[in-house]
Structure 1
Amino acid sequence: MKDALNLFFFGVYPYIALAIFFLGSLIRFEREQYTWKSDSSQMLRQGSLRWGSNLFHIGIIALFFTHLVGLLTPPAVYHAFGVTTHFKQLLAIIVGAILGVVCLIGLVLLIHRRWSDVRLAHNTHASDWVTVLWILATLLMGLATLFTSVHHTDGAVMVLLGDWAQAIVTLRPGAAVAAMETVPLVYHVHMVLGMTLFVIFPFTRLVHVWSGFGSVTFLVRPWQLVRPRR
């Protein structure tokens, strides 16, 4: 039973999650463009929005990219720059703890803001609650992994997690499953919660993240030429 679950969640589920993430986002953009928005509630009540939103977005964006770089960088690359596995593990613990706490504070402020205000509560969809609570659970489980990480600062588990991610992106599910066999359970739960965020992404307001990345294209967009009428 354990082997079957390991095979599904770490050899098959990543591809299911990514397929839903990309195809679902494309279909949502094609068929429901008027729902493609962040549904800002700033006009209803500002309150702790500025602090909560800024801390949450800074934390979660930084966490996403540090996870992405950390998992997909082969040991040979950072060893070439003189960075040992032990040092990288300590850096991951410290940076992860700081960014995780920053993100958690911002998320708790946003949840309290919506929960405590009647108008905001009535204007919050069920999908919004699912999203924020799922992110909260994923974040808390990620912070829980830090308590396990401090007991194996040799970086062995970190290397296994990297092997899993690199095997997934290079289409080697067998190697990915093998890498996860000896990884502690707390990482398994955190990773499944994280992958499920990609599953719910196209069906929630999270799709506005694509627009954030898309706005970078404005830096290289040609000038708009305006001609006067004659």
Structure 2
Amino acid sequence: MNDLNHLLFGIYPYIAFTVFLVGSLIRYDREQYTWKTSSSQLLEKKWLRRGSLPFHIGVLAIFGGHFVGLLTPHEVWHVLGVSAPHKQIVAMAAGGIFGLLCLYGMTILLVRRLTNERVRATTAKMDIVILLMLYSQLLLGLTSIFVSAGHMDGTEMLKLMSWTQNIVTLNGSVASGYIADVHIIYKLHVFLGMSLFLVFPFSRLVHIWSVPVKYVSRSYQVVRAR
């Protein structure tokens, strides 16, 4: 069991991140014409508008919360006067709010993708796989809130923080030990999260790399009136 735990949470993350980075570079170099969102807006607009905005707001807030919450050392939170139980309450509240917002948007997008004949006709198998993986990951995240409610001392949250920070500092053998005895819901959530990085280069998710940050500083476009 210890060997399996080390494989899944001490070695697999590095395999996933290597494929994520190298695969993205290779795809950008060799298949730039596939580097796009493959938008289906022209095929159906009404439900896309209803689902896209809450989904993107929710997923960006969740990702940002995970990034800051897991990678900020506990000592920093202690200096700021934020205890582990207090941080857990904030994480549960914010995760619940933005998780439900994201779930609302993603449900609309998933139903639209599967039931609209025109949209379904332009949908690749990988699109369905990614949507189902994201949906499952979101449900696991929301379920973990109820698990966290059973122990408000923040101990398992600290273990997940230690796992993340040790993975980032290339200390996988130590990292796997922190996550060995956490609840199975957290383990599934982490494993599926790593798996999303693994399949990232082979899906339309690569468009995330192309965030249009230049739009902020570019000159205004001059559009002539008819």
**1:115: Cα distance to partner?**
1.7
TM superposition shift of 1:47: 2.0
Distance, in Å, in 1 between the alignment partners of 2:97 and 2:149 is 15
Q: Is 1:102 matched up with 2:101?
A: yes
TM-score, length-scaled by structure 1: 0.92
- Which residue of structure 2 aligns with residue 87 of structure 1? 86
2:175 alignment partner in structure 1 = 176
The answer to whether residue 168 in structure 2 is matched with residue 165 in structure 1 is no
C-alpha distance in 1, partners of 2:135/2:11? Answer: 25
Q: Is the 8 A contact 1:72 1:166 kept in 2?
A: yes
1:12 is the counterpart of 2:2: no
Name stretches of at least 5 consecutive residues in structure 1 with no aligned partner: 224-230
- Write out aligned runs for 1:73-84 (5 A): 73-84=72-83
Change (3 A) 1:218 1:120: closer
Q: Any idea what SS the aligned residue of 2:150 has?
A: coil
Which amino acid is the alignment partner of residue 143 of structure 1? L
Which residue number in structure 1 is paired with residue 213 of structure 2?
Answer: 216
- Structure 2 distance, partners of 1:17, 1:57, is 24
The DSSP-based 3-state class of the residue aligned with 1:183 is coil
CA deviations 1:142-176 (Å, max 9, x no partner) are 11111110011110000000000000011111210
TM-superposed CA distance for 1:3, in Å, is 1.2
Aligned to 2:224: none
* Structure 2 residue aligned with 1:202: 201
* 1:31-50 → structure 2 map (5 Å cutoff): 31-50=30-49
Unmatched segments (≥5 aa) in structure 2: 220-226
Paired letter, 2:91: A
Q: CA RMSD in A?
A: 1.4
Letter in 1 for 2:89: L
Q: Deviations over 1:112-151 (max 9, x none)?
A: 1122211111111101000100101111111111111001
Q: Take 2:47 and 2:126, find their aligned partners in 1: how far apart are those partners?
A: 22
Percentage identity across paired residues of the two chains: 46
1:83-138 superposed Cα distances (whole Å, 9 cap, x missing partner): 11111000011101111111111000001112221111111110100010010111
Distance in 2 between residues matched to 1:181 and 1:201, nearest whole Å = 26
With 2-11 and 29-38 compared, the bigger mean Cα shift is at 2-11
Kindly state the Cα deviation for residue 80 of structure 1 after the two structures are TM-superposed.
0.7
Partner of 2:29: 30
TM-score by length of 2: 0.94
Q: How far apart, in 2, do the equivalents of 1:80 and 1:51 lie?
A: 42
Shift of residue 220 of structure 1? 5.7
Report the residue type matching 2:128 in the other structure.
W
Residue 218 of structure 1, CA deviation: 4.9
Q: Counterparts of 1:61 and 1:9 in 2: how far apart (Å)?
A: 26
- How far apart are 1:217 and its partner, in Å? 4.3
Deviations 1:12-39 (A, max 9, x none): 0110011011110000100000000000
Q: For residues 70-91 of structure 1, what are the alpha-carbon distances to aligned partners after superposition, in whole Å with 9 as ceiling and x for unaligned?
A: 1111111011111111110000
Maintained 8 Å contact 1:49/1:110? yes
C-alpha contact (below 8 Å) 1:47/1:113 kept by paired residues: no
CA distance in 2, matches of 1:14, 1:130: 20
For structure 1, which segment, 21-30 or 174-183, has the greater mean C-alpha deviation from structure 2 after superposition? 174-183
Secondary structure of 2:200 counterpart: helix
AA aligned opposite 2:164? A
Residues 11 and 176 of structure 1 are in contact (CA less than 8 Å); yes or no, is this contact kept in structure 2? yes
Name the amino acid aligned to 2:156.
Answer: V
1:161 maps to amino acid: L
